[in-house]
Homo-oligomer: A and B are copies of this chain.
């Protein structure tokens, strides 16, 4: 039985970890922390858990957390970096859903997150938890930096094209649409129903924190710098990210749609959570709502010589908590799909 702790479990990634872990017979949720809600039953805050989890929130306490085999940080950025070292020292594996350990270039991280990194020494050892790329490293990792929601969809969409050297990496575009849950559960005017429903808008047009994270990954696949225009959009729905990716075919290369389709199908043939759709089908976020799947389609226009990739995921599952648990499964040598086989809720 794996003992799991969750720090900061009052937000949407927290409740999603609980939804996915509570039914498991091989994992015991031992500790769920929240400074604000100490002593209150978790199911009072999340009534969907009534009858499924009988536990109170506790204050974050290193000794209590040290009894766990694995601790998830479902906290805002800037929290994990202050206590991860202590937990690792006590042989607890750590899976951080925040951004604290995602970016290897510490100066770059500090610039985008506008904070001094309090634990730079662990950044190099942290494994970026995208299983489709880093499965081997994850197996032996002590500290996982779970990828952001946008970076997951966008990297999975560009990956086969860059690995196969097919596209002009100086002119990549990611037009991404996210549900409002990506903003978390904090009470902010912009995310009120009356502000966010029945409307779509772009945001962070001059630069989004996921941009350096995405570029770090794409550059690795590309074995060289990439230039990416990334425009995120707030979409009037709860869950889901759809990334529409535009990539011009590299000069001097000829591609066919059959070839592109094969490149994607081959790359992801063994991946349990990446589903390459047949030619002519396109993903919709509703097809993956509540599931850990990323659905991907690829298309190509000869006239413009442009490849268009569509990647859909549930931002709270494959884009956060499901992927975190996928990492846990790999770290503990379990069936990778354990607890992650839930079928999307449609409609």
Residue numbers of A with Cβ under 8 A of B are 12, 15, 19, 22-23, 44, 46-52, 171, 173, 175, 177, 179-181, 185-189, 191-203, 205-206, 227-229, 231, 233, 235-240, 242, 244, 246, 248, 275, 277, 280-291, 293, 295, 297, 299, 301, 303-304, 306, 308, 310, 312, 341-347
In Å, the complex CA distance between A233 and B175 comes to 11
Q: Do the beta carbons of B198 and A238 come within 8 Å of each other?
A: yes
In Å, the complex CA distance between A345 and B239 comes to 10
Give 14 pairs: A residue, B residue, CB < 8 Å, sorted on A.
A19-B346, A47-B284, A48-B286, A180-B192, A185-B194, A198-B238, A198-B240, A199-B240, A199-B285, A205-B297, A229-B301, A233-B244, A235-B235, A342-B342
Q: Do the beta carbons of A275 and B51 come within 8 Å of each other?
A: yes
In Å, the complex CA distance between A52 and B22 comes to 22
The residue in chain B whose Cβ has the minimal distance to the Cβ of A196 is: B193
Q: Do the beta carbons of B229 and A306 come within 8 Å of each other?
A: yes
- A175 contact set on B, CB distance < 8 A: 175, 244, 246
Known pairs A237-B200, A293-B51; A191 contacts B194 (CB<8 A): yes
Which of B189, B193, B202, B282 is the one whose CB lies under 8 Å from A310? B202
Which of B191, B228, B240, B347 is the one whose CB lies under 8 Å from A238? B347
